[in-house]
Chain A
Amino acid sequence: MSYISGVSRLDSNRRLDSASEHALVDQCRRQNYEAFGKIVDAYQGRVLGFARRMTPNLEEAHDVTQEVFLRAFQAFSKFDGRSSLRTWLFRIAHNLCVDKSRRSERAPAETRIEAVNEGEEQFDISDMRWSPEAVMLDAELQQVLDSGIALMSEKLRSVLLLHDREDMGYEEIAQMLEIPIGTVKSRLFLARAHLQQHLKKYWAGDVPV
């Protein structure tokens, strides 16, 4: 079975270029409904993807995503532009997801990285039958990755999604989550280690799909 086909992800066409985003932001500050609609078009899939992986089910993810855009629209006059629009939207999304999960007391048990001897904790990705090139995953592997992400603690999951999925930098995430950059790196490392263990189990046939 081939896990990966070599098709690059085309993500540039879903992003607004900075000039048009800047113009839209100006219009949105004046509560322009049509301009805000274009911002929703550009970010709805990504915010929904983040919310879906941060909340227990799709229905809640839909609700959270609507709430994100509604709050953003109502508070746009307060958006000062110090952070990017993306960071601002994802901060709202993150806070809402955290509030939701705290209310529903959803705290998955974090998989401990198995005790390792010095030098054994390195990632052995090269054995995992996939190319390190930009890849498109097949449906089964997507499902395994998503289940691995869902089993992480909220703090690891959010850093993994913001860095690896949303391509945010360490500093941007640190500002957004109000944690030190070193902590961002530590959490990202632990999140990837968790995911690697999950994938190893899957390839060993221990993870049902």
Chain B
Amino acid sequence: MSWIEKIRNESALSQGDAERLEQGLMDSDSLGKMVQSLPDDVPSMAWRSALNEKLLAASPRRRPSVWRWPSLIALGAAAALTSIFFLSRPPEILAPEQSMGPEAMLVAEHRESVAALEVSSVGLGMEESKSVATGHPDWNESDLEPL
């Protein structure tokens, strides 16, 4: 069997055959350099983006861990209690204004102002009543005494 046959069959090599193999590898080293010179492959951005998504999905930050369950349960229970509390409260009695429509509110407002006028009667205007209340700025009651 020639040494090439032994190599092909991956048989044990004699000392001489092993030396030939070493020599053959040294002689073919330039071919190895050609293979080494083949350019690198550059993956696309889309490929990398897809990989990132897969890695993120596999990342432990995305996995719900066991220690988070109690807090999630407590949060859910609190939300349920709050909704029960609000749903079980009797409906608030609305003030008449709140239950009225805009037309009814206008009518009520008008009636109130009419009633107020009837009680107080038509008297002084706002400015007149103010000057009466506060007095004239140029004289006071002591000025009127001699009269």
Which residues from chain A sit less than 8 Å from chain B, CB to CB? Answer: 9, 14, 31, 33, 36-37, 40, 44-46, 48-49, 52, 61-62, 65-66, 69-70, 73-74, 112-113, 116, 118, 121-123, 125, 130, 132-137, 141-142, 145-146, 149, 160-161, 163-165, 167, 182-183, 185-190, 192-193, 195-196, 199
Q: Nearest chain-B residue to A47 (Cβ)?
A: B41
B9 to chain A, nearest CB (A): 9
- With a cutoff of 8 Å between Cβ atoms, the chain B residues found around residue A113 in the complex are 4, 8
- Contact yes or no, A49 B38, CB < 8 A: yes
Q: Give the CA-CA distance A192 to B104 in the complex, in Å.
A: 101
- Please report which residues of chain B, range 30-88, place their CB below 8 angstroms from some CB of chain A when the two chains form the complex: 30-43, 47-48, 50-52, 54-56, 58-61
- The verdict on B114 contacting chain A, using a C-beta distance below 8 Å, is no
Within the assembled complex, what's the spacing in Å between the Cα atoms of A61 and B8? 29
For the complex formed, measure the closest distance between the CB of A160 and the CB atoms of chain B, giving whole angstroms.
6
Q: Name B's interface SS.
A: helix
Residue of A nearest to B7 (CB): A186
List 18 contacting pairs A-B, 8 Å CB cutoff, sorted by A: A31-B59, A31-B60, A33-B61, A40-B48, A45-B41, A62-B47, A70-B58, A113-B8, A116-B2, A121-B4, A123-B27, A123-B31, A132-B30, A134-B36, A145-B34, A185-B25, A192-B32, A195-B31
Using CB atoms, name the residue of chain A closest to B36: A164
The residues of A that contact B13 with a CB separation of less than 8 Å are 182, 186
Cα-based distance from A36 to B32 in the complex (angstroms):
31
A123 interface neighbour in B4, B24, B52, B59, Cβ under 8 Å:
B24
Supply 13 further A-B pairs (C-beta < 8 A) apart from A36-B55, A46-B41, A132-B29. Answer: A46-B40, A112-B8, A113-B8, A116-B2, A134-B37, A136-B37, A137-B37, A142-B39, A145-B35, A164-B33, A165-B35, A182-B13, A183-B10
- Is the CB–CB distance between A44 and B39 below 8 Å? no
Residues of A within 8 Å of B51, CB to CB, are 40, 66, 69-70
Cross-interface CB contact of A192 among B12, B28, B38, B47, cutoff 8 Å:
B28
